[in-house]
Amino acid sequence: MTEARRPVKKPPMREVLAEAAFQLFLERGFERTTVDDIVARAGVGRRSFFRYFPSKEDVVFPDHERCLADMTALLEAADEGDPVSTVCDAARLVLRMYAANPEFSVQRYHLTREVPGLRTYELSVVRRYERTMAEYLRGRYVGTPDGPLHAEVIAAAVVAAHNNGLRSWLRSGGEGDAEAAVDHALGVVQEVWGAKAAGAAGPTADDDEVVVVVASKSTPMWRVVQRIESALAED
């Protein structure tokens, strides 16, 4: 009763719009929600919406465009180190975008699973990340046999590994260490595709050293590679 009146901090317009959109998508589905519905719920004008978001989908994935731009910049600025390690770093930008706002990311994860239109939109975005990485790798593999093929396969593997780690974290409700989950998953790709010296915790490259591997012929190739990796780590 005697509580002092404090100024209520208004949430930013961007968040008000995103909140209204989320409510409506859950209530009536993504396809049947219009931008007009969203601005009515948020109590703002139609123009405000388009000042913040180019489309209805962007309300749900507001940061992908910026992240794609960051990824392109990272890849353009990358030095001549291991290309696979570089695209793994690029993938980590996406993870960090999700991890910056766990609650929103987990809520969106559940929404996206329920709304086919959003799943489709997400697929398109993921594909753009994959293409960005593949394009970088193609540039790095110019002149090597099957360069473009390796570029596309590795980009797809990096994206799949990243998404596996990201999904584990999202399914856990955004608890735990998102970076560790993704690092572990990306490690599987780096084991087989990366230059051996690429791992942050791995040994530095030394052209004079050699590795000898002895393996039974029936051992799956990735187990052979794991053994090579551990031999190097012990070194």
Q: Least distance to a second copy from the beta carbon of 154, Å? A: 8
- Burial class of residue 227, CB neighbours in 10 A (0-12, 13-18, 19+): middle
Residue with tokens 């004008």: 45
Cβ distance to a second copy smaller for residue 51 or 127:
127
Cβ distance to a second copy smaller for residue 13 or 192:
192
Residue with tokens 């994206």: 159
CB 186 within 8 A of CB 165: yes
Residue whose C-alpha is closest to residue 233's, from 199, 189, 185, 195:
199
Q: Least distance to a second copy from the beta carbon of 57, Å? A: 11
Residue whose C-alpha is closest to residue 111's, from 23, 14, 173:
23
Cβ distance to a second copy smaller for residue 69 or 215:
215
**Beta-carbon neighbour count of residue 189 at 10 Å?**
21
Cβ distance to a second copy smaller for residue 97 or 197:
197
Nearest-angstrom CA–CA distance, 103 and 175: 10
Q: Least distance to a second copy from the beta carbon of 200, Å? A: 16
Q: Least distance to a second copy from the beta carbon of 13, Å? A: 29
Nearest-angstrom CA–CA distance, 39 and 19: 11
Cβ distance to a second copy smaller for residue 2 or 218:
218
Interface residues with a second copy (CB under 8 A) are: 82, 84, 119-120, 123-124, 127, 146, 148-150, 152-153, 155-157, 159-161, 163-164, 185, 188-189, 191-197, 203, 205-207, 209-222, 224-225, 228, 232
Per residue in 14-51, is it b (16+ CB within 10 Å) or e — as a string?
Answer: eebbbbbbbebbeeeebeebebebbbebbebeeebbee
Q: Least distance to a second copy from the beta carbon of 196, Å? A: 6
Cβ distance to a second copy smaller for residue 108 or 140:
140
Q: Least distance to a second copy from the beta carbon of 111, Å? A: 18
